[in-house]
Copies of this chain bind each other. A is one copy, B any other.
């Protein structure tokens, strides 16, 4: 039974799907129905942390516990999972119920899209990042060999079952990382929402109801992009704002910087490049940096571990780029992002060098 807000619907080329809210993960799972043809794919950490809530909701003989790791979301690791699901008796008219964060979503979405050429699946996202951002949009990303996220599918679930109350139980670092995409979506939406969000976040404590509100607000923004361009051939590209440079910082620090924090650093980098090209006033960059620094500050020193050549190699390797011409999202102000091609050597390298120097020579950093 939905407890907080009524369902809304996301339009999709593969079939519209609903987003509903529940009071707990257990309540969400029980709403799927105990059909004998349902099989459950559950993050083992979630199963352990929420054992009391989940008692009785997950039939042991049809529950597959998975570690949420980059290794587990690789093409190489999928065969044993497929075999286990088939042994458990999953059928073409069955449903795969996926419980976990973004990694479980990637694995579950991909498995559902290829089993019997596609079976129904439902998603119970358990992290802020998954609830506020990745749970809608149909995408899965899978690693292959040394290549990250080069394989995947567009395959929406039948339902998304949000449990915003659970967000209050997340470790603070994970909440902080999830806020990276929440902030990105409001920057894409325009100045009003962004300033409202930042004012809310500056409060002394972040209430569960406040997170629930910004989950909803984030999905409202993302919905407009994905409904217009589900298959990422135009305006949906803008959701990559901060990601080209953010991925490079993640990769060059060997993932010592969490994804959401890397996105914040990537958006600042994009804003600084935009300022150097005259797209926005220099003060726009300074103001954003001052507002966002409290959120990335605990990780700021880790940029010191990023080798310069690894950052630039990662940008070049990015699947959207070739040679020296870099496709990325720049900004002309709040809510005015656009896809641009910039010159790596001339327009990106000097700005990133300055950005890293500023962020890592901050006298207050430990």
Which residue on chain B has the smallest CB distance to residue A83? B145
CA distance A309 to B259 in the complex (A): 55
Kindly identify which residue among B92, B114, B147 contacts A153, using a CB–CB cutoff of 8 Å: B114
Q: A153 to B118, Cβ gap below 8 A?
A: yes
Q: Quick check: is A154 within 8 A (CB to CB) of the other chain?
A: yes
Given A116-B319, A319-B92, A319-B116, is A82 in contact with B150 using a C-beta cutoff of 8 Å? yes
Given B83, B115, B150, B322, which contacts A115 in the complex, CB threshold below 8 Å?
B150
Selected interface stretch from A73-81, A173-181, A219-227, A348-356: A73-81
Q: List chain B residues, Cβ under 8 A from A139.
A: 117
Interface flags, A132-161, vs B, CB<8A=1, else 0: 000000011010111100111110000000
Q: CA of A116 to CA of B150 in the docked complex: distance in angstroms?
A: 5
Q: Is residue A113 contacting chain B, with contact meaning CB distance below 8 A? A: yes
Q: For the complex, is A288 an interface residue (Cβ under 8 Å from B)? A: no
Task: List B contacts of A142 (CB < 8 A).
Answer: 114
Asked whether any CB of chain B lies closer than 8 Å to the CB of A198, the reply is no
B114 touches A79 (CB 8 A): no
Query: Known: A75-B78, A79-B144, A145-B79. Contact between A86 and B150, CB under 8 A?
Result: yes
A117 lies within 8 A of B152 (CB): yes
Given the interface pairs A147-B86, A319-B92, the reply to whether A154 lies near B118 with Cβ below 8 Å is yes
Per the 8 Å Cβ criterion, residues 110-124 of A in contact with B are: 110, 113-118
Determine how close the nearest CB of chain B comes to the CB of A86; give it in whole angstroms: 5
In the bound complex, residues from chain B placing their C-beta under 8 Å from that of A76 are 79
What residues of B have a CB within 8 angstroms of the CB of A154 in the complex? 117-118
**Closest chain B CB from A53 CB (angstroms):** 33
- Tell me how far the C-beta of A120 lies from the nearest C-beta in chain B, rounded to whole angstroms: 13
A116-B150, A153-B114 known; A79-B83 Cβ under 8 A: no
A150 to B74, CA, bound (A): 19
Q: Which residues of A contact B (CB under 8 A)?
A: 74-76, 78-80, 82-83, 86, 91-92, 110, 113-118, 139-140, 142, 144-147, 150-154, 231-232, 319, 322
Nearest 5 pairs of A and B residues by beta carbon: A83-B145, A117-B152, A82-B144, A114-B151, A75-B79
Residue pairs across A and B with Cβ atoms less than 8 A apart, 13 shown, are: A75-B79, A82-B150, A83-B146, A86-B144, A114-B114, A114-B142, A114-B151, A114-B153, A115-B151, A117-B140, A117-B154, A118-B153, A118-B154
- Given contacts A74-B79, A117-B140, 7 further A-B pairs with CB under 8 A are A80-B145, A83-B146, A91-B319, A92-B319, A114-B152, A116-B151, A117-B154
